[in-house]
């Protein structure tokens, strides 16, 4: 299943994306809250109380009503996650493009929840930003509370997977000598378009990850290049930090980011940045100057 949240910012409704539901090339949206009045959103409560298990019955309902998806805004497919945790330097080729060795332990940092953005919403640059680029990433969403996981049971806590763009102000990252501030500006965390349930992603370690700037290929990698695979990541995090339903964990980015190129390819107003993961959809964001 492909979970989406649709509607104006702050007023999104939970839905299911149905490709070709209204004919070839005409996707539809199943309005979940219109069919199940107690499902208000795809939030922590939904994941913690077995909400995913109820969705197949809604899909099979002969009286279901499908809305046209054309022209409908999509938001982040998860409502207000408690945490957004990310991996740094987790692709071997990405570490080499900066001339350093792979990390000896997973590098964990966070992004502010207020940085969340829809997959097709504009990315807005603050007036002082000069060196900003994006990072295409495979992200996972936690389906149940997890503490001190083992490698054997780590994958069982994953509700699904999505695309995350780890937009970063490189000057703020460098000058602050930490990563949180420069990666947490408003609009700097587009997520979506879909949350694809884990049963439809049998091997997340064999997925193409890519980004394009104004149609030009930037990143072209595969999740097989991860230094630390998903079970190792979750074991490391939950050794000391409880992951809660709806939390988002981004797994790192492949080589090719704009700031590592010579000359750099940085985001400018008027640009269009696309980021995607095979089978999970493609984001497309216009770059705008914040007024």
What per-residue confidence (pLDDT) applies to 65?
85
Q: Give yes or no: residues 55 and 165 share one domain.
A: no
The HSE-up count of residue 287 (CA atoms within 13 Å, CB side) is 22
What per-residue confidence (pLDDT) applies to 178?
87
Within a domain: 79: no
Q: Give yes or no: residues 28 and 93 share one domain.
A: no
Q: Give yes or no: residues 107 and 63 share one domain.
A: no
Q: Give yes or no: residues 32 and 94 share one domain.
A: no
Q: Give yes or no: residues 238 and 140 share one domain.
A: yes
Within a domain: 40: yes
Per the CB < 8 A criterion, the answer to whether 273 and 165 are in contact is: yes
User: What string of pLDDT tens digits covers the 291 residues of the chain?
Assistant: 999 999 999 999 999 999 988 889 899 999 999 999 999 999 999 999 999 999 999 999 988 989 999 999 999 999 999 999 999 999 998 888 877 788 999 999 999 999 999 999 999 999 999 999 999 999 999 999 999 999 999 999 999 999 999 999 999 998 988 899 999 999 999 999 999 999 999 999 999 999 999 999 999 999 999 999 999 999 999 999 999 999 999 999 999 999 999 999 999 999 999 999 999 999 999 999 998
Beta strands in the chain (DSSP E): 2-6, 13-18, 28-31, 66-68, 84-88, 107-110, 116-117, 123-125, 132-133, 136-142, 158-165, 168-169, 189-190, 195-197, 208-213, 216-222, 248-250, 272-277, 281-289
Q: Give yes or no: residues 11 and 96 share one domain.
A: no
62, with CB counted inside 10 A (0-12, 13-18, 19+), is exposed
What per-residue confidence (pLDDT) applies to 59?
95
What per-residue confidence (pLDDT) applies to 22?
86
Q: From 41, 68, 95, give the residue that closes a domain.
A: 68
Range of 131's domain? Answer: 84-289
Q: From 20, 43, 68, give the residue that closes a domain.
A: 68
Per the CB < 8 A criterion, the answer to whether 137 and 164 are in contact is: yes
Q: Give yes or no: residues 27 and 92 share one domain.
A: no
Strands 248-250 and 136-142: antiparallel
What per-residue confidence (pLDDT) applies to 134?
98
Within a domain: 90: yes
Q: How many domains does the structure of the chain reveal? A: 2
- Tokens read off for 140: 């996972």
- Tokens read off for 173: 């990252």
Q: Give yes or no: residues 151 and 250 share one domain.
A: yes
Nearest to 250 by CA among 93, 134, 145: 134
CA distance 198 to 146: 16
């Amino acid at each position: 299943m492909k979970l989406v949240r649709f509607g104006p910012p702050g007023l999104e409704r939970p839905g299911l994306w149905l490709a070709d539901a209204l004919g070839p090339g005409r996707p539809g949206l199943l309005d979940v809250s219109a069919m199940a009045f107690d499902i208000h959103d795809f939030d922590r409560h939904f994941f913690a109380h077995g909400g995913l298990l109820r969705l197949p019955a809604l899909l099979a309902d002969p009286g279901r009503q499908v809305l046209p998806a054309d022209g409908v805004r999509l938001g982040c497919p998860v409502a207000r996650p408690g945490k957004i945790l990310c991996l740094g330097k987790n692709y071997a080729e990405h570490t080499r493009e900066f001339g350093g060795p792979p990390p000896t332990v997973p590098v964990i940092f966070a992004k502010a929840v207020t940085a969340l953005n829809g997959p097709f919403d504009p990315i807005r640059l603050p007036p002082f930003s000069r060196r900003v680029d994006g990072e295409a990433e495979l992200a996972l969403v936690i389906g149940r509370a997890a503490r001190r996981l083992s490698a054997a049971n780590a994958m069982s806590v994953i509700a699904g997977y999505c695309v995350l763009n780890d937009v970063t102000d490189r000057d703020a990252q460098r000058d602050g000598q930490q990563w949180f501030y420069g990666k947490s500006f408003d609009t700097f965390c587009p997520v979506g378009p879909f949350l694809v349930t884990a049963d439809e992603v049998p091997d997340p370690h064999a997925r193409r990850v890519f980004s394009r700037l104004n149609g030009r290929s930037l990143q072209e990698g595969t999740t097989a290049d991860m230094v630390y695979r998903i079970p190792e990541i979750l074991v490391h995090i939950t050794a000391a930090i409880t992951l809660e339903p709806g939390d988002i964990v981004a797994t790192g980015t492949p080589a090719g980011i704009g700031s590592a190129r010579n000359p750099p390819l940085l985001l400018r107003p008027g640009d269009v940045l696309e980021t995607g993961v095979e089978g999970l959809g493609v984001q497309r964001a216009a770059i705008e100057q914040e007024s």
